[in-house]
Structure 1
Amino acid sequence: MNCPYCSHGEQKVLDSRPARDGDAIRRRRECEGCGRRFTTFEEPEKPRLYVIKSDGSRQLFDREKLLNSLLLACGKRPVTAERLEAAVVNIERDLMDGAELEVSSSDIGEKAMDELFELDSIAYIRYSSVYRAFDCPGDFAEIVRRMQKDARKKRATVV
Structure 2
Amino acid sequence: MWSLEIKLPEPYIQQPGSSRLRLVCRLFLGAVFLYAGATKIISPAGFAAAVHNYHILPPSLVNLFAVILPWLEITAGACLVAGVWLPGAVMWVNVMLLVFLLALVYNQIRGLNVNCGCFSTSQNPAEKISTIWYIMRDMLFLVPALYLATTVFKTKR
Q: TM-score normalised to the size of structure 1?
A: 0.29
Greater RCO, 1 or 2 (C-alpha within 8 Å, sep 6+): 2
Q: TM-score normalised to the size of structure 2?
A: 0.30
Structure showing greater radius of gyration is: 1
Q: Which has the higher strand share?
A: 1
